[in-house]
Amino acid sequence: MADRPLAVVLVSGGLDSCVAAAVFNQTHSLAFLHLNYRQRTEAREQRAFDALAGHFSVGPRLAVDLAYMEQIGGTALIGTHTPVPEDAPKPGRVPPTYVPFRNANLLGIGVAWAETLGADAVVIGAHQADSDYPDCRAGFFAAYNQMVQWGTRPERAIVVHTPLIALDKGGIVSLGARLGAPFHLTWSCYQAEERACGRCHSCRLRLAGFAAAGLVDPIAYAA
Amino acid sequence: MADRPLAVVLVSGGLDSCVAAAVFNQTHSLAFLHLNYRQRTEAREQRAFDALAGHFSVGPRLAVDLAYMEQIGGTALIGTHTPVPEDAPKPGRVPPTYVPFRNANLLGIGVAWAETLGADAVVIGAHQADSDYPDCRAGFFAAYNQMVQWGTRPERAIVVHTPLIALDKGGIVSLGARLGAPFHLTWSCYQAEERACGRCHSCRLRLAGFAAAGLVDPIAYAA
């Protein structure tokens, strides 16, 4: 394991980052980066992060507090005052849970840490099938990688990888199942922290993904 | 003033960001963003930020604490254990005061705030003449702007501007003097907080800039 290259994986604790970690676990040693931007369910996500790091025997772990995303605001996903919508967002519209320029900010921290650690990869479980977030599109990540090449030390060659970019939720569940990803350790619900609500947009996507893959989600849901 | 477009200016409190603010003060209302990444002289820089914001009658002001840059480390500019070098860095080498991927991280916050405020510009006083930092080159900022176009809401058109990119320190002082920039309110020294040391690399560049412009620096230096 010691001669494997190192990959920094952005791990929220959800399904997508778990499967992205399982993909790179085949070829790399893993470093796990958790970004707390004061989501409602942050405490629960942090528990899922710790459980996943244990499962993958991860050495370098870093949890970064991005209080500034709360200062900047502009979204329903942060803080507890704006209700989280239960319906799917309208196609072609940026959904109200959009955090301004979120992925650029998260990846900036991942790339800085990768440069310090000597990692050659930064891995994010983003995918464009299910959303209209501008910073989840393949073109965004291609442009991001051009910028990384300009902005990092010339002796480094850090690449941002999006192994799930072309998959839908069913495809992500199927891929994770093939790789033995520990779904029972993940958390996706935007709303609750003990039993998943089963009603918020994130729960609905997750449940639809397991249904499409013909599998049963192992986590507990409210009745 | 109310019908002017809004520009988010990254203001460290130093000479460069003061002159960049003076340039955009001609055409925009200004919002000031200060990024505290636990530099040694942070308290002094914060005082300079407040004084400059007062001078330019700035409304929206935001100071963001980037503790994570200290967690990530990898530089002599953060913390108090590694000595700040007094010599100029070697040409063609990345200097030890380089903060990994710093400008990408700072601009990410600036663009997120610009998107929330409805600003059309993010302004940074970077210039490539005096340094070998990879993320101070014009090509880096061009690539960054491509990425911003992909990563922000389609109804926004946010552009990162580098009005000083082609200038050396003498040119920056001359430009600032023409625009009436309040040099006496700025702080550049990496080392001290009462009287500038006059010996660190940042002080040397500043003094050489005033000398090249044929002007006297109005701030106080240690004997």
Q: Contact A196/A221 with Cβ under 8 angstroms?
A: yes
Using a CB-CB cut-off of 8 Å, the residues of chain A touching B139 are 150
> Is A105's CB within 8 Å of B112's CB?
yes
Whole-number Å distance between alpha carbons of A166 and A126: 9
A79 touching B, CB under 8 A? Answer: no
Least confident of A61-70, B10-19, B20-29: A61-70
Q: Are A123 and A7 in contact (CB under 8 A)?
A: yes
Residues of B in contact with A100 (CB under 8 A): 111-113, 115-116, 152-153
Cα-to-chain-centroid distance, residue A16? 6
* Residue B116 to residue A74, Cβ atoms within 8 A: yes
Q: What class does CATH assign to B6-213?
A: alpha beta
For the stretch B38-86, pLDDT in tens is 777 788 889 999 999 999 999 999 998 887 887 787 544 444 444 444 5
* pLDDT, mean over chain A: 87
Cβ of A74 under 8 Å from any chain B Cβ?
yes
Looking at the partner chain, which of B105, B116, B151 has a beta carbon nearest the beta carbon of A112?
B105
Minimum distance, in Å, between the CA of residue B186 and any CA atom of chain A:
25
pLDDT > 50? residue A41: yes
Contact residues, chain A, for B148 at CB < 8 Å:
101, 104
For residues B156-163, give the mean pLDDT. 93
pLDDT of residue B65: 86
Q: Does B102 touch chain A (CB under 8 A)?
A: yes
What's residue B71's pLDDT?
Answer: 79
Residue B106 near residue A151 (C-beta atoms within 8 A): no
CA distance A214 to A198: 18
Q: Which of A102, A143, A153 sits opposite B147 (nearest CB)?
A: A143
Query: Smallest CA–CA separation between B72 and chain A, in Å?
Result: 6
State whether A104 and B108 contact (CB < 8 Å).
Answer: yes
Domain residues of chain A, as ranges?
Answer: 6-213
The better pLDDT of the pair A152, A51 is held by: A51
HSE, CB side, 13 Å, CA atoms: give it for residue B70: 15
Q: What pLDDT was estimated at residue B197?
A: 94
Contacts of A50 (CB under 8 A, 6+ apart): none
* B47: its two tokens: 């005082």
Contact list in A for residue B94 (CB cut-off 8 A) is 153-154
Beta strands of chain A (E only): which ranges? 6-10, 29-36, 61-65, 121-123, 159-161
* B129 pLDDT above the threshold of 50: yes
Q: Is A147 exposed, middle or buried (0-12, 13-18, 19+ CB in 10 A)?
A: buried
Q: φ, ψ for residue A127 (rounded to 5)?
A: -150, 145
What pLDDT score was predicted for residue B69?
80
pLDDT of residue B80: 41
Q: How many contacts, defined by CB atoms under 8 Å, are there between A and B?
A: 141
Do B99 and B77 contact (CB within 8 A), yes or no?
yes
Q: What's the pLDDT score for residue A203?
A: 94
Closest by CA to A116, choosing from A39, A31, A184, is: A31
Tokens for B168?
Answer: 């050396």
**β-pairing, A29-36 with A121-123?**
unpaired
pLDDT score at B98: 57
Q: What is the pLDDT of residues A85-121, one digit of tens each?
A: 455 545 555 554 557 888 999 999 999 999 999 999 9
Q: Which residues of chain B neighbour A113 with C-beta distances below 8 Å?
A: 72, 100
B109 to chain A, any CB pair closer than 8 A? The answer is yes
**Surface of B (120-139) touching A: CB under 8 A:** 134-135, 137, 139
Q: What is the pLDDT of residue A205?
A: 92
Confidence at residue B221, expressed as pLDDT on a 0 to 100 scale: 95
CB-based contact, B100 to chain A, within 8 Å: yes
In a 3-state reduction of DSSP, which class is residue A177? helix
Q: Which phi-psi region, left, alpha or beta, contains residue A214 (left: φ > 0; alpha: ψ -120 to 50)? A: left
* Interface contact A76, partner B, CB < 8 A: no
What letter would DSSP give residue B219?
A: S
Sole residue written with tokens 């929206």 = B60
CA A67 to chain centre: 18
Average pLDDT for chain B: 87
Residues of A in contact with B112 (CB under 8 A): 69, 72, 99-102, 104-105
Contact A152 B134 (CB under 8 A): yes
d(CA B73, CA A62): 12
